[in-house]
Amino acid sequence: MSLLSALCLAPGVLHRPRVILHQLRRRFQPRCPSASVFPTQNGKVAIVTGGTKGIGYQTVKHLARLGMHVIIAGNSESDGQEAVRKIKEETLTGKVEFLYCDLASMKSIRQFVQQFRAKKCPLHVLVNNAGVMLVPERKTVDGFEEHFGLNYLGHFLLTNLLLDTLEQSGTHSHNARIITVSSATHYVGKLHLNDLQSRCSYSPHGAYAQSKLALVLFTYRLQHLLTANGSHVTANVVDPGVVNTELYKHVFWVVKVVKWMTAWLFFKTPEEGASTTIYAAVSPEMEGAGGCYLYNEERTKSADVAYDEELQRKLWTESCKMVGISDEASRLP
């Protein structure tokens, strides 16, 4: 995370200068050139949420270029069809399609999964990419605070509903992969188990950071459960860095001006931002590896609180209640 994004996204971060310096150092860390060369993925199927724009679009395009059949899950039919058209033109592949899925609606997510299952195809890669950032206080159709409901709960439900298909598709030598996009903002996030909906005190910055921390906790707990079940599925979380996308449309106009002036220095392009997601999805180096936090195509340490196993369990149990699924994990350690 850059100094600019730290100022914009995390109230109180100014009291933690080490965080700012750490994120600035990570932003300019060079990537290994060979890391971007991946084997073809012919015959494999992927779902990418929020794949019509920004990081998601670039992820879809690169996976399709590698030969994957990619399904874009998004909440705009027009944007979805336009993305499909452009990617087919750019990659010269017909293996891209769009299915409607509004992650702010539990009903829509269930309908999407039913549509996908009707295709009777495998699922080798699930990329939980979609999200909102710094939106004003508002609720989803199910009554959840939007950051928590869409960024986290939507992906929590989607992943759980697709687990059976992922487990059936993974093999000992080629695990199915779940990649969840979080953010360095999770380092300053706090999980309020007694007020996950931010009803007591709403802050766009705090709500966004909490949703991104929840995604890291979720990934670690999910990997624990997958390992306990002997599943040929891995779950990892990625930090794309500070990327110049439309997510910043809700920041103050002054910040937009500063962003416009400094984007070349502090911000990655969407293609650069997608590189770690693509790496997690297809790199042979990540075969069989789960429970990792990745940045710049390298494993790194997430926030200390994300490793709290009791907090992971509590969040998982509460999330199951909120989305209305059984907590089978309660029978596991």
According to DSSP, the β-strands at 298-300 and 293-295 are: antiparallel
* Backbone CA torsion sign across 162, 60, 289, 211: negative
124: alpha, beta or left? (left if phi > 0; alpha if psi -120 to 50)? alpha
- 202 carries an active-site annotation: no
Q: Are 147 and 213 in contact (CB under 8 A)?
A: no
Give the Cα separation of 131 and 148 in Å (integer): 10
DSSP 201: S
The structure tokens 């979080």 sit at 182
Nearby residues of 17 by Cβ (< 8 Å), 6 or more positions away: none
Question: CB atoms < 10 A from the CB of 67, how many?
Answer: 16
Choose, from 57, 152, 187, 208, the residue flagged as catalytic.
208
Catalytically active residues, by annotation: 208
